[in-house]
Amino acid sequence: MTQVTGEPTPSRNGTSTPVSDGEPRRPRPLTPEEEAQQFRVSQGFYARAWGKFRHDRLSMIAAAGIGIVVLITLLGPIVCEFVLRTAPDTIMRMPDGRVAVLQPPGERFLLGTDDLGRDVLTRLLYAGRISLSIGFLVAFISIVVGTAAGLAAGYFGGWVDDLVNAVIQFVFNIPGLFVLIILSVVFQPDVPLLALIFAFFFWPGTARQVRGVAQSVRNLDYVVAAQSLGASNFRIITRHILPNVSNIIMVVAGFDVGGAILGESALSYLGFGVRVPLSSWGNMLSGSIDLFEKAPWLVYPPGAMIFVTVLCVVLLADGLRDALDPRV
Partner 1 sequence: MTIGATILAACNTPSQSQSGSQASGEPRKGGILRVAWLGNPPKVMHPYPEPQYNGESLGDVAALFTAGLLSFDWEKLDYWVDPGDAMAAALPTVSPDGKTFTFTLRDNLKWSDGQPITSADFQFAWDNASKEENNYVGLDDLERIESYRTPDPKTIVVTLKEPLARFIAIATASAIGPIPKHVWQGKSWLDPVANSEILKPTVVAGPYIPKEASAERVTMVRNPTFWGKQPLLDEVHFITASPQTVLNLVKTNAADWAKNFPPAQYSDAKRTSSINVVEWQAVTGQYRNVEFNMRRPLFADKKMREALTHALNRKDFIQFEDDLAAEQFSVITQGNTKWVNNNVEKYPYDLDKAKQLLREAGFTLDGAVLKDRSGQPVHIEIIFPTTSQPRTKMAAYIQQQWKSLGIDTAVNGLEFNTFVERTQNRQFDVSMGTWSAVLDPDDAKTWIHSTGPQNNTGYANPRVDELFQQGMVEQDDTKRKQMYDEIQRLLADDLPAFYTVTLKQFTAFDKKVGGVKPSKGGNLMTTNNNIASWYVAQ
Partner 2 sequence: MHQFLIRRLIQSALLLWLLMTFTFFLTRATPGGPEAAFLENPKIGPEEIARIRERFGLNDPAPVAYMKWLGSAITLDFGRSYYYLRPPLDIIQERIWPTVQLGLTAYVFAFLGIPLGVIAAFHRGKLPDVIIRVFTVLWDSMPSWWTALVLIVILSTTIHWFPQGQGRDGPISWFTHIIIPAMILGLGGTVAFTRYVRSQVLEVLGQDYVRVARAKGLPERIVTTRHILRNSLLPVVTLMGGFLPGLISGAALMEGIFNWPGMGRLYLEAAATRDFPLLLAIITMLTLATLVGMLIADIAYGVVDPRIRLAQR
When asked if residue 115 is in the footprint of partner 2 (CB under 8 A), the reply is no
Residues between 132 and 171 with contacts to partner 2, criterion CB under 8 A: 166, 169-170
Residues between 276 and 305 with contacts to partner 2, criterion CB under 8 A: 282, 285-286, 289, 292, 303
**Which residue in 173, 229, 230, 234 binds partner 2 (CB under 8 A)?**
173
Nearer to partner 1, 205 or 287 (CB): 287
Contact in structure between 259 and 143 (CB atoms under 8 Å): no
| Rg, Å, the chain Cα set | 26
Helical residues (DSSP H) of the chain, grouped into ranges:
32-41, 45-55, 57-78, 120-156, 158-173, 176-187, 191-218, 221-228, 233-236, 242-269, 281-288, 300-323
Least CB distance to partner 2 at residue 105 (A): 21
User: What letter does residue 84 receive in the DSSP assignment?
Assistant: I
Long-range CB contacts (within 8 A, 24+) of 304-309: 305/69, 305/124, 305/128, 305/131, 305/281, 306/131, 306/261, 306/262, 306/265, 306/281, 306/282, 308/65, 308/69, 309/65, 309/66, 309/69, 309/131, 309/132, 309/135, 309/258, 309/261, 309/281
When asked if residue 257 is in the footprint of partner 2 (CB under 8 A), the reply is no
DSSP-based three-state secondary structure for 99? strand
Spacing of C-alpha 231 from chain mean position: 32
Nearer to partner 1, 36 or 276 (CB): 276
**Which residue in 60, 61, 116, 262 binds partner 2 (CB under 8 A)?**
262
Task: Indicate left, alpha or beta for 128 from its phi (over 0: left) and psi (-120 to 50: alpha).
Answer: alpha
Please give the size of the binding site for partner 2, defined by CB under 8 A.
Answer: 39
Greatest pairwise CA separation for the chain in angstroms: 102
Contact in structure between 100 and 117 (CB atoms under 8 Å): yes
Least CB distance to partner 2 at residue 263 (A): 9
Q: Which does 217 bind (CB under 5 to 8 A by kind): partner 1, partner 2, none?
A: none
**Which residue in 90, 232, 233, 238 binds partner 1 (CB under 8 A)?**
90
Site string for partner 1, 251-290 (x = CB under 8 A): --------------------xx--xxx---------x-xx
Please give the size of the binding site for partner 1, defined by CB under 8 A.
Answer: 22
Q: Which does 194 bind (CB under 5 to 8 A by kind): partner 1, partner 2, none?
A: none
Burial-class residue 19 by CB neighbours within 10 Å (0-12, 13-18, 19+): exposed
Nearer to partner 1, 46 or 300 (CB): 300
When asked if residue 184 is in the footprint of partner 1 (CB under 8 A), the reply is yes
**Which residue in 7, 35, 89, 190 binds partner 1 (CB under 8 A)?**
89
When asked if residue 307 is in the footprint of partner 2 (CB under 8 A), the reply is yes
Which stretches of the chain bind partner 2, using CB under 8 A? Answer: 1, 166, 169-170, 172-179, 181-182, 185-186, 258, 262, 265-266, 269-270, 282, 285-286, 289, 292, 303, 306-307, 310-311, 314-315, 318, 321, 325, 327-328
Which stretches of the chain bind partner 1, using CB under 8 A? Answer: 89-91, 98-99, 101, 115-116, 184-185, 188, 271-272, 275-277, 287, 289-291, 293-294
